[in-house]
Amino acid sequence: MQTFDVLVVGGGPAGASCAGALRQHGLNVLLIDRAVFPRDKVCAGWITPAVVEALGLDLAAYGRTHVLQPFQGFRTGLIGGAQLENRYPSPVSYGIRRVEFDHHLLLRAGVKMQLGVTVRTVEQRQQQWVINNAYSAPMLVGAGGNFCPIARLLDGRTGVAPVVAAQEIEFLMSPQQARDCAVRADTPELFFCHDLKGYGWCLRKGEHLNIGLGRESCSQLPSRLNDFCTWLQAQGSIPERLPRGFHGHAYRLWGSGPQNRTGDGMLLIGDAAGLARPQSGEGILPAVQSGLLAARVIAQAAGDYRQQNLADYPRQLQSAYGKAAEPRPLPGVQGLRAGLGRALLGSRWFSRHVLLDRWFLHPGQIRPAG
Ligand X SMILES: Cc1cc2nc3c(=O)[nH]c(=O)nc-3n(C[C@H](O)[C@H](O)[C@H](O)COP(=O)(O)OP(=O)(O)OC[C@H]3O[C@@H](n4cnc5c(N)ncnc54)[C@H](O)[C@@H]3O)c2cc1C
Comparison of 263 and 291: residue with beta carbon closer to ligand X: 291
Residue of 142, 258, 270, 331 interacting with ligand X (CB under 6 A): 270
Comparison of 279 and 351: residue with beta carbon closer to ligand X: 279
Residue of 2, 3, 24, 118 interacting with ligand X (CB under 6 A): 118
Kindly state whether residue 287 participates in binding ligand X, applying the rule CB under 6 A.
yes
Query: Rounded to the nearest 5 degrees, what angle is found at the Cα of 211, between the Cα atoms of 148 and 109?
Result: 40
Contact pattern for ligand X over residues 158 through 197, marking x by CB under 6 A = --------x-x-----------------------------
The CA distance from 174 to 330, in Å, is 35
Q: What is the largest CA-CA distance in the chain?
A: 63
The CA distance from 268 to 9, in Å, is 10
Kindly state whether residue 153 participates in binding ligand X, applying the rule CB under 6 A.
no
Number of residues that bind ligand X (CB under 6 A): 41
The answer to whether the beta carbons of residues 80 and 15 sit under 8 Å apart is no
Residue of 4, 5, 12, 209 interacting with ligand X (CB under 6 A): 12
Shortest distance, position 162 Cβ to ligand X, whole Å: 9
Burial class (CB in 10 A: 0-12, 13-18, 19+), 34: middle
Residues 323-352 that bind ligand X (CB under 6 A): none
Judged by CB under 6 A, the stretch of 55-63, 276-284, 307-315, 349-357 that binds ligand X is: 276-284
Residue of 142, 149, 188, 255 interacting with ligand X (CB under 6 A): 149
Residues 24-63 that bind ligand X (CB under 6 A): 32-35, 41-46
Residue 220: partners with Cβ closer than 8 Å, 6 or more residues away: none
* Amino acid letter for position 242: L
Comparison of 173 and 268: residue with beta carbon closer to ligand X: 268
Of the candidates 192, 186, 181, the one whose C-alpha atom is nearest the C-alpha of residue 238 is 181
Kindly state whether residue 109 participates in binding ligand X, applying the rule CB under 6 A.
no
Shortest distance, position 320 Cβ to ligand X, whole Å: 16
- In sign, the C-alpha dihedral spanning 161, 164, 170, 176 is positive
Kindly state whether residue 200 participates in binding ligand X, applying the rule CB under 6 A.
no
Phi, psi of 129 (to 5 degrees): -90, 135
Kindly state whether residue 216 participates in binding ligand X, applying the rule CB under 6 A.
no
Kindly state whether residue 255 participates in binding ligand X, applying the rule CB under 6 A.
no
Residue 32: partners with Cβ closer than 8 Å, 6 or more residues away: 7, 8, 9, 10, 11, 113, 114, 115, 117, 119, 131, 135
The CA distance from 183 to 237, in Å, is 5
Residues found near ligand X in the complex (CB under 6 A): 9-15, 32-35, 41-46, 118-119, 143-145, 147-149, 166, 168, 212, 214, 249, 251, 270-272, 276, 281-285, 287
